[in-house]
């Protein structure tokens, strides 16, 4: 179990899906949850960073568990999920703040995987009961959703799948971002010519070379 | 003036005189109020020729700028004096509503000196103080005494029989057991023939910038809700949430710190308390966390117990009968005694008996003797009279001083320092003796708050501890609770102090104020004859590794940490603040007479 948390935790950080101390992961084991410790570094997890706690009942380990435990619990109690990943992928977070209620991937892989990713919002975002409520509801229908301006929660039967949803979403958002940025550049070129982006003489003539 | 009231009330019980005085605003600005202002008062008014139970010793109840204002956990106040248990400066902090009512009556502080020729109680209101006869209250347990005085818009604190009998670890408390608990402050009050104090006042606003305060409060509230410690762990289990955790780490003191793991910990755990005894949760005034427990046994109901009580009257005595522990806690509350020192002193007596130095029936695990022993201590009956002097004096009396688990005379809280190096340094350097409330390393060493450190590493602990010591001095002084620090940090305290008082406080200003308070406490203790030799731990922690459990094989490496600590503090190798440090902290004028300086 520890090696899985370490492998995916490390990937999440080094792929830039979360910051040094951000994000959390958990797996459900019957009526128990194993969740990362609050304040732990996903890229450097040790045995001490995996906290076992009840699915629907607190015990002393509540003092150590991730602050998002309340959301993880609500998800497990209302969906078939057996693993959850929560991270703050920057392109997806940025895009979530520009979309009304969903991110629609432009790329074929993203479209094939997601079709759409709901974007929801609440007044409080960290360890929030409001988030727990909407997460439990939306993840009955979707595998991943974005909390506007905060991050994504994804689920799966195993950590690997929950990790995949986050990773793929970020890739789609990155593609979407690059595409839109390039489209804006293209519009500028069409309007003003390549010379508007270049400094060399004869720039516009090179296409005739 | 904003935040503070700018007034203090003085009562001299010997002359039966009272007066209202203005407080220099600059002093409040420098010392923040609460513990800080109390330190200033004790330092400037209690000279080395005064003994703790002399009429000249003072009891200074001090509220902070945040007390009664409406910020999260801002219902606390401090009580400062010269301790009869430790001989050090001592402040005891409480979430009793007394501090709030004192502030609302219009005072930042109440300073009581002298000794009445017969028992009295004090009435505090906007007009000042009135002294009333208390012969009818003398001898009553705390809830009964408070019941007789309770009035509308008021709060009452009282001593019990233990304080009247000058038990050296007696407390001052309200009817539900919320106490100015440690250091024998109840004995000081008893020595003045003062049974109880009632403060009457209605809410009043003194905030400089209400709009900003509301905004910072809102953000602080969000943080409290977001932290599982403040929104789930403490509300659901109270501090007893720590029993299983400390046991797992191998730092739960068992049989007077002879062992670090209690086999029956589950029977006295937070989970057990919740499932079998909890009837209701509660909170101190203005607190959104609510760690207070209202409990019931087969015979009684009451408040608590806290984690420290469960350790002191439970695992440290080898007792896992939770009913008895809870009832022992109720009894200590009614009689007015600090449960930590009480339990630790009984544990010392048990070890003295175990080792043949004391002839008594006390033995680890003998729960059936606990309630009678506590009663005997409060009444100073039989062996109880010796126990009433605290573990240090008891162990010396019976020839085995190493059986007393204390620093500077104050008994340990429930964390064996052999599993927490920084905590060991904290205990050794704390100005009031072995205490977890002077910069607790529990957060960084065991809970990962704010970050998880290697608990067994001595290196680097001094600097971190010093910051925490200053932060704890600040929290005690502004009138908030340390638990809120699990959710919000120094920047929130600084913003609140700015918006409430109108003074510009940055984080560094507060750290400096904390350092000022810490150093003045240190200077007071030096003046009373304490030295580097007193910054130490019982030999058990320095020489005897724990044999089993999560901290097996470890001792405290104090010398290495202590040298680093003094360097960090800018003190001499003898642990004395240098003239340069004193000048930096703006203490030159205040300590000008002191030869150490």
Distance CA B20, CA B127 (A): 9
Sheet holding B17-22: strands in order across? B17-22, B7-12, B109-113, B59-63, B77-82, B89-94
Indicate the helix (H) or strand (E) that contains A164. helix A159-192
Q: In 3D, which of A47, A48, A39, A49 has the Cα closest to residue A19?
A: A39
C-alpha B181, offset from chain centre: 6
Structure tokens at B147: 């019941």
Q: What is the pLDDT of residues A115-129, one digit of tens each?
A: 999 999 998 888 888
Other beta carbons within 10 angstroms of residue B583's beta carbon come to: 11
Contacts of A37 in chain B (CB under 8 A): 448, 452
Instruction: Tell me if A63 and B242 make a contact (CB, 8 A cut-off).
Output: yes
Give the three-state DSSP class for B317. Answer: helix
pLDDT band of residue B428 (cuts 50, 70, 90) is: very high
Contacts of A58 in chain B (CB under 8 A): 232-233, 236-237
Q: Could you say which residues from 183 to 222 on chain B have a Cβ atom under 8 Å away from some Cβ of chain A?
A: 222
Question: Which of B231, B244, B448 is the closest to A39 by Cβ?
Answer: B448
C-alpha B476, offset from chain centre: 10
Whether A73 shows a pLDDT value over 80: the answer reads: yes
Indicate the helix (H) or strand (E) that contains A30. none
Question: Which of B222, B225, B236 is the closest to A58 by Cβ?
Answer: B236
Domain residue ranges in chain A? 2-195+203-208
Other beta carbons within 10 angstroms of residue B326's beta carbon come to: 28
Whether B77 shows a pLDDT value over 90: the answer reads: yes
Q: In 3D, which of B32, B5, B6, B26 has the Cα closest to residue B475?
A: B32
Contacts of A128 in chain B (CB under 8 A): 225-226
A38 touches chain B (CB under 8 A): yes
Distance CA B102, CA B200 (A): 7
Strand partners, B10: B19, B111
Indicate the helix (H) or strand (E) that contains B140. none
Instruction: Kindly report the nearest CA distance between residue B266 and chain A, in angstroms.
Output: 11
Instruction: Kindly report the nearest CA distance between residue B521 and chain A, in angstroms.
Output: 33
Instruction: Tell me if B241 and A60 make a contact (CB, 8 A cut-off).
Output: yes
Instruction: Kindly report the nearest CA distance between residue B492 and chain A, in angstroms.
Output: 18
How many Cβ contacts (< 8 angstroms) between chains A and B?
Answer: 70
Distance CA A155, CA A38 (A): 20
Structure tokens at B123: 């009435």
Q: What is the pLDDT of residues B461-508, one digit of tens each?
A: 999 999 999 999 999 999 999 999 999 989 999 999 999 999 999 999
Q: Mean of the per-residue pLDDT values for chain B?
A: 96
Give Cβ neighbours of residue A127 (< 8 Å, ≥ 6 apart): A67, A68, A69, A70, A71, B225, B226, B227, B228, B231
- CB-side neighbour CA atoms (13 Å) of A96: 22
A47 touches chain B (CB under 8 A): no
Q: In 3D, which of B124, B130, B126 has the Cα closest to residue B156?
A: B124
B266 touches chain A (CB under 8 A): no
Distance CA A153, CA A146 (A): 7
Instruction: Tell me if A60 and B452 make a contact (CB, 8 A cut-off).
Output: no
Mean pLDDT score, B190-215: 95
pLDDT band of residue B175 (cuts 50, 70, 90) is: confident
Instruction: Kindly report the nearest CA distance between residue B491 and chain A, in angstroms.
Output: 19
Instruction: Tell me if A64 and B231 make a contact (CB, 8 A cut-off).
Output: no
DSSP letter for each residue of B368-401: GGHHHHHHHHHHT-THHHHHTT-HHHHHHHTT-G
Whether B597 shows a pLDDT value over 50: the answer reads: no
Mean pLDDT score, A135-160: 95
Structure tokens at B77: 């106040």
pLDDT band of residue A185 (cuts 50, 70, 90) is: confident
Q: What is the pLDDT of residues B287-343, one digit of tens each?
A: 999 999 999 999 999 999 999 999 999 999 999 999 999 999 999 999 999 999 999
Strand duo B410-411 + B406-407: pairing: antiparallel
Distance CA B175, CA B156 (A): 8
Q: Where do the DSSP E strands lie in B219-372?
A: 278-282, 292-296, 301-303
Structure tokens at A142: 């979707």
Strand partners, B296: B301
pLDDT band of residue B280 (cuts 50, 70, 90) is: very high
Count of positions (residues) in chain A: 209
Distance CA B499, CA B480 (A): 15
Distance CA B539, CA B240 (A): 28
Indicate the helix (H) or strand (E) that contains B564. helix B558-569
Other beta carbons within 10 angstroms of residue B266's beta carbon come to: 13
Distance CA A40, CA B318 (A): 35
- Mutation target to probe the B interface, by most B beta carbons within 10 A, among A57, A62, A66, A72 is A62
Question: Which of A38, A48, A60 is the closest to B237 by Cβ?
Answer: A60
Give exposure, B189-218, as e/b (b: 16+ Cβ within 10 Å).
Answer: bbbbbbbbbbbbbeeeebbbeeeebeebbe
Instruction: Tell me if B237 and A62 make a contact (CB, 8 A cut-off).
Output: yes
Strand duo A144-147 + A151-156: pairing: antiparallel
Q: What is the pLDDT of residues B437-469, one digit of tens each?
A: 999 999 999 999 888 999 999 999 999 999 999
**Chain B residue with minimal CA distance to A61?**
B245
Other beta carbons within 10 angstroms of residue B502's beta carbon come to: 14
Specify burial of residue B516 (Cβ count, 10 A radius: 0-12, 13-18, 19+): buried
Whether B258 shows a pLDDT value over 60: the answer reads: yes
Peptide bond into B484 cis (omega under 30): no
Contacts of A127 in chain B (CB under 8 A): 225-228, 231
* Residue recorded with tokens 């005379």: B409
Instruction: Tell me if B226 and A128 make a contact (CB, 8 A cut-off).
Output: yes
* Residue recorded with tokens 């094939």: A112
Whether B511 shows a pLDDT value over 70: the answer reads: yes
Indicate the helix (H) or strand (E) that contains B142. helix B142-149
DSSP letter for each residue of B172-226: EE-TT--EE-STTHHHHHHHTTEEEEEEE-------S-HHHHHHHHHHHHHHHHH
**Chain A residue with minimal CA distance to B270?**
A60
Residue A31 has phi, psi (to 5 degrees) of: -95, 20
C-alpha B317, offset from chain centre: 22
Q: Where are the alpha helices (DSSP H) in B441-538?
A: 442, 461-478, 490-501, 507-527
Distance CA B540, CA B70 (A): 45
Q: What is the pLDDT of residues B335-388, one digit of tens each?
A: 999 999 999 999 999 999 999 999 999 999 999 999 999 999 999 999 999 999
pLDDT at position A197, please?
Answer: 65
**What sign does the CA torsion over B365, B366, B367, B371 have?**
negative
Whole-angstrom Cα Rg for chain B: 22
Instruction: Tell me if B226 and A67 make a contact (CB, 8 A cut-off).
Output: yes
pLDDT band of residue B581 (cuts 50, 70, 90) is: very high
Instruction: Tell me if B228 and A67 make a contact (CB, 8 A cut-off).
Output: yes
Contacts of A63 in chain B (CB under 8 A): 228-229, 233, 241-242, 245, 447
Indicate the helix (H) or strand (E) that contains B63. strand B59-63
CATH topology of domain A2-195+203-208: L-fuculose-1-phosphate Aldolase (3.40.225)
Specify burial of residue B248 (Cβ count, 10 A radius: 0-12, 13-18, 19+): middle
Strand partners, B172: B180
Q: What is the pLDDT of residues B83-140, one digit of tens each?
A: 999 999 999 999 999 999 999 999 999 999 999 999 999 999 999 999 999 999 999 9
Give exposure, B280-301, as e/b (b: 16+ Cβ within 10 Å).
Answer: ebebbbbbbbbbbbebebeeee
Instruction: Kindly report the nearest CA distance between residue A140 and chain B, in angstroms.
Output: 24
Contacts of B222 in chain A (CB under 8 A): 124, 126
Q: In 3D, which of B324, B323, B337 has the Cα closest to residue B387?
A: B337
* Residue recorded with tokens 């599993």: B419
Indicate the helix (H) or strand (E) that contains B125. strand B120-125
Higher pLDDT, B560 or A189: B560
Distance CA A56, CA A69 (A): 10
Instruction: Quote the pTM value.
Output: 0.93
Contacts of B237 in chain A (CB under 8 A): 58, 60, 62
Indicate the helix (H) or strand (E) that contains B94. strand B89-94
Q: Mean of the per-residue pLDDT values for chain A?
A: 93
Instruction: Tell me if B244 and A63 make a contact (CB, 8 A cut-off).
Output: no
Structure tokens at A172: 């789609």
Distance CA B193, CA B553 (A): 50
Domains of chain B: 7-200 (3.60.9.10), 236-411 (1.10.569.10), 417-486+506-584 (1.10.599.10)
Q: Could you say which residues from 441 to 460 on chain B have a Cβ atom under 8 Å away from some Cβ of chain A?
A: 447-452
Phi-psi domain of A66 (left: phi exceeds 0; alpha: psi -120 through 50; beta: other):
beta
Instruction: Tell me if A70 and B232 make a contact (CB, 8 A cut-off).
Output: yes
């Amino acid at each position: 179990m520890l090696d899985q948390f370490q492998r995916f935790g490390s990937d999440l950080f080094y792929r830039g899906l979360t910051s040094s101390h951000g994000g959390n992961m958990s797996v459900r084991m019957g009526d128990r949850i194993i969740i990362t410790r609050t304040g732990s570094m996903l890229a450097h997890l040790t045995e001490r960073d995996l906290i076992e706690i009840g699915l629907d009942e607190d015990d002393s380990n509540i003092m150590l568990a991730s602050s998002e435990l309340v959301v993880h619990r609500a998800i497990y109690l209302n969906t078939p999920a057996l693993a959850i990943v929560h991270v703050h992928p920057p392109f997806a977070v940025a895009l979530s703040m520009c979309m009304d209620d969903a991110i629609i991937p432009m790329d074929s892989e993203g479209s094939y995987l997601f079709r759409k990713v709901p974007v929801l919002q609440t007044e409080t975002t960290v360890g929030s009961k409001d988030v727990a409520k909407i997460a439990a509801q939306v993840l009955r229908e979707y595998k991943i959703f974005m909390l506007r301006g905060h991050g994504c929660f994804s689920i799966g039967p195993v950590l690997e799948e929950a990790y995949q949803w986050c990773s793929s979403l970020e890739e789609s958002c990155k593609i979407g971002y690059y595409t839109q940025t390039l489209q804006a550049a293209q519009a500028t070129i069409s309007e003003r010519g390549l010379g508007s982006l270049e400094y060399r003489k004869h720039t516009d003539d090179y296409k005739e070379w | 003036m904003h935040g503070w009231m700018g007034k203090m009330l003085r009562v001299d019980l010997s002359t039966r005189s009272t007066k209202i005085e203005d407080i220099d605003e600059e002093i409040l600005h420098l010392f923040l109020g609460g513990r800080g202002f109390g330190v200033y008062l004790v330092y400037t008014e209690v000279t080395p020729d005064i003994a703790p139970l002399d009429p000249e010793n003072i009891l200074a109840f001090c509220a902070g700028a945040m007390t009664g204002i409406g910020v999260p956990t801002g219902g606390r106040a401090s009580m400062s004096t010269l301790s009869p248990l430790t001989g050090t400066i001592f402040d005891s902090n409480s979430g009793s509503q007394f501090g709030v009512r004192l502030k609302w009556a219009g005072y930042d502080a109440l300073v009581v000196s002298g000794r009445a020729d017969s028992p009295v109680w004090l009435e505090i209101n906007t007009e000042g103080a009135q002294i009333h006869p208390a012969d009818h209250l003398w001898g009553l347990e705390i809830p009964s005494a408070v019941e007789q005085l309770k009035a509308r818009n008021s709060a009452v604190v009282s001593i019990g029989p233990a304080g009247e009998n000058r038990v050296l670890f007696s407390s001052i408390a309200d009817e539900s057991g919320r106490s100015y608990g440690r250091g024998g402050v109840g004995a000081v009050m008893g020595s003045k023939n003062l049974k109880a104090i009632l403060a009457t006042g209605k809410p009043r606003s003194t905030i400089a910038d209400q709009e900003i305060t509301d905004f910072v409060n809102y953000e602080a509230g969000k943080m409290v809700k977001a932290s599982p410690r403040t929104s789930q762990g403490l509300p659901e289990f109270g501090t007893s949430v720590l029993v299983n955790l400390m046991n797992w780490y191998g730092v739960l003191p068992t049989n007077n710190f002879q062992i670090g793991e209690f086999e029956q910990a589950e029977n006295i755990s937070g989970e057990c308390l919740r499932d079998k005894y909890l009837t209701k949760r509660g909170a101190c005034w203005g607190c959104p966390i609510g760690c207070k427990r209202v409990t019931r046994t087969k015979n009684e109901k009451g408040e608590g117990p806290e984690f420290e009580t469960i350790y002191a009257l439970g695992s440290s005595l080898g007792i896992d009968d939770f009913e008895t522990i809870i009832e022992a806690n109720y009894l200590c509350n009614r009689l007015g005694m600090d449960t930590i020192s009480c339990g630790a002193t009984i544990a010392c007596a048990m070890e003295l008996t175990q080792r043949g130095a004391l002839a008594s029936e006390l033995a680890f695990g003998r729960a059936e003797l606990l309630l009678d022993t506590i009663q005997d201590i409060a009444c100073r009956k039989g062996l109880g009279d010796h126990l009433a002097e605290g573990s240090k004096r008891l162990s010396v009396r019976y020839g085995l001083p190493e059986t007393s688990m204390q620093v500077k005379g104050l008994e340990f809280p429930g964390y064996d320092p052999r599993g927490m190096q920084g905590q060991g340094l904290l205990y050794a350097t704390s100005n009031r003796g072995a205490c977890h409330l002077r910069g607790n390393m529990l957060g960084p060493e065991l809970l990962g708050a704010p970050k998880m450190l290697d608990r067994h590493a001595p290196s680097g602990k001094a600097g971190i501890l010093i910051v925490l010591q200053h932060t704890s001095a600040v929290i005690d002084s502004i009138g908030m609770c340390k638990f809120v620090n699990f959710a919000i940090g120094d920047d929130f305290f600084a913003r609140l102090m700015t918006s409430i008082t109108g003074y510009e406080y940055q984080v560094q200003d507060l750290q400096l104020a904390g350092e000022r308070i810490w150093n003045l406490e240190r200077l007071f203790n030096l003046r009373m004859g304490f030295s580097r030799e007193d910054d130490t731990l019982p030999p058990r922690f320095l020489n005897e590794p724990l044999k089993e459990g999560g901290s097996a094989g470890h001792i405290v490496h104090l010398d290495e940490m202590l040298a680093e600590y003094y360097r960090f503090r800018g003190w001499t190798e003898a642990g004395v603040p240098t003239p340069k440090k004193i000048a930096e902290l703006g203490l030159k004028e205040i300590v000008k007479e002191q030869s150490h300086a």
